[in-house]
Chains A and B, each alone.
Chain A
Amino acid sequence: MFLLPWLIGFFGLTLGPTLASLYLSFTDYDLLTSPRWSGLENYEYAFFHDRRLGNALSVTFTYVLWSVPLKLTVALLLAMVLDRSVRGVAFYRATFYLPSLLGASVAIAVLWRQIFGAQGLVNQMLFLLTGMKGPAWVAHPDYALTTLIVLAIWQFGSPMIIFLAGLRQVPQDLYEAASMDGASGWRQFRKITLPLLAPVIFFNLVFQTIEAFKAFTQAYIVSGGQGGPVDSTLFYSLYLYEEAFANFRMGYASALAWLLLVIIAIFTAIAFATSKYWVYYEDEGR
């Protein structure tokens, strides 16, 4: 009885559309006429004929492979700084978390577009400091994706908070024992902090990878919804969106969505499969 709202939500809003999209991925559907069964045609097109999809995949992989490790590194470093009891640590914690709250919003993406534009703040600073005239970062095919990666790294807040919680769990006396054992700070970090933090790193890695694969808002806003310039920021989800709502190829978009699911599943599976070699869980006691 009390589960009812949740059940309605789950079946009506999650499972229903999911199954519907699975069905639609095997059809030709333009929203105006009813879906027409086309078998594996959509998938065949995606695998063998769609040039833009190849590009979208490459953009997305580049984005994931750069933004996730860099973001986690920044998050871990800042978490370690914040883990020391400095004066006003609560203030810094909140401040550092702020970008994550704002980062995913449309407003910030618009702001970034301004900052990194041809006449944007970055270029003005650059001109003032060095006299160089910078490119329009977000409008240049060579830099647009990099700018988006920087924007992603800037949202290190939520993994940072999780890292911070993880660091607090590491017993202080292990560090004391290690320093009695003659271990330097770096060795303590490598031999104690990292292994004991591994479950948290693993969680953040999986979570952030999934998030990065699904990245949409920033690219949509910064590129004006086109994935431009020259498709250099055509993220997978952006391409999917375009196919669905600009070209009205719902069937094909559904197929793309299912492909993304499979890709994410594969990445997650790889992460889980390798985890037994580098993630130590306290409770398994092995």
Chain B
Amino acid sequence: MADLELRQVVKDFGNLRVIHGIDLKIDHGEFIVFVGPSGCGKSTLLRMIAGLEEISGGDVMIDGQVVNDMPAARRELAMVFQSYALYPHMSVRKNLAFGLETMKVPKPEIERQVKQAADILQINELLDRKPGQLSGGQRQRVAIGRAIVREPRIFLFDEPLSNLDAELRMQMRVEINRLHRRLGSTMVFVTHDQVEAMTLADRIVVLRAGRVEQVGSPLELYNKPDNIFVAGFLGSPRMNFLPGTVDRVEGHRGEILLAGGQRLTTEFSAPPKAGEAVTIGVRPEDLVPVPETDAVLIGEVTIAEQLGGETYVYVTLPDGQSATVEIKGQARVRPGDRLHLAFEDGKFHIFGSDEKVIRRT
């Protein structure tokens, strides 16, 4: 049985529908990340699970029980807020104990659990301070601690790392990962940051405008995106998209003519019609410099960014399109250089005019 199940969940704000019938099953112990651009409905969906937002249609089920009308206070979930939402007038200890005191847990038990949570998060020395005296990262830990103490059925995280600076964010990411492993609890995590999604998730749910675009493990989504949106959203630098047309189809074999005049031959599992406009997607690391004779594309370097471990080269293609190339190590290229490029091992994606992927064999 799934820990959490969404069935055709819908949310309307007045006349505006923001969640369009979402189905999802989350198993026990899974780390699920909702990711998508601002306004895609990911936070709303999380708040509907939490019980902070009314459900306009469909069912939210926890442990097989429909909880649509159950108030947040009784769902036994815990949530970490983007703003941390610590009680400013209570000490850290009181903040952690609040939920347990509400449940009328005996005092020694509360103390034990608060201490345990404080140990896990290494905030023992902060217990008698007030939230106002803590740094952002410390507040974040307390907020997570407050969730841990309750031993909830499911942890919910609403963009918890977005108020932290880059280094702290990375550190907390690792800690949340470790925490998940240690507790083995089901966690639902909302973020707009694809790096957080890739690094934390067992499965990622990509959302756009209130609809699920694709659900899968991080690498599944990275390697086999269902559509242009998912392909472009995951991965940094972004995937390159080159326009082309299907030129000839013979059986499963087909030839694609790129806008720059180059040709690609490939095998389709369900071949498109000849003449259909398509988009070729190729990740920057799959676009590799090759000798002139093997070149599929020729680009003129506009900028080369040296990151030490790798080099991002921005090139302009003959038809005026620009593309990004990621080269391992410190490539010696200068603006104005001509770069001969090919697709690594046939690693490219073809998307039809409906933006959906056309699978290849």
Contacts and interface: CB of A to CB of B under 8 A. Distances in A.
A, B bound: yes
Contacts, number: 71
Contacts of B72: 176, 179-180
Contacts of B132: 282-283, 285
Interface in A234-286: 280, 282-283, 285-286
The 9 A-B pairs with the shortest beta carbon distances in the complex, nearest first, are: A285-B132, A181-B99, A177-B85, A173-B85, A280-B89, A179-B72, A195-B89, A182-B102, A180-B79
A38 interface: no
Given A285-B130, A285-B132, A285-B133, A182 B73 contact: yes
Of listed A174, A177, A282, A285, residue having the most chain B CB within 10 A: A177
Contact of A180 (B78, B87, B89, B130): B78
A174 B89 CA distance: 11
Given A173-B83, A196-B88, A286-B130, A183 B77 contact: no
B89 A182 contact: no
Interface residues on A, range: 20 to 34
B270 interface: no
Nearest to B129: A285
B313 interface: no
B35 interface: no
Contacts of B76: 182
Given A171-B83, A171-B85, A182 B50 contact: no
Interface in A186-233: 187, 191-192, 195-196
Contacts of A105: none
A178 interface: yes
A181 B146 contact: yes
Contacts of A180: 50, 52, 72-73, 77-79, 99
A181 B150 contact: yes
B49 to A, nearest CB: 11
A176 B85 contact: yes
B321 to A, nearest CB: 45
Interface residues on B, range: 20 to 34
A157 B133 CA distance: 36
A286 B90 CA distance: 9
Contacts of B130: 285-286
A184 interface: yes
A173 B158 CA distance: 12
A286 B88 CA distance: 10
Contacts of A187: 102
B348 interface: no
B182 interface: no
Contact of A184 (B52, B73, B146, B150): B73
B102 A177 contact: no
Contact of B98 (A173, A176, A191, A285): A191
A177 B103 contact: no
B71 to A, nearest CB: 7
Nearest to B52: A176
A110 B361 CA distance: 94
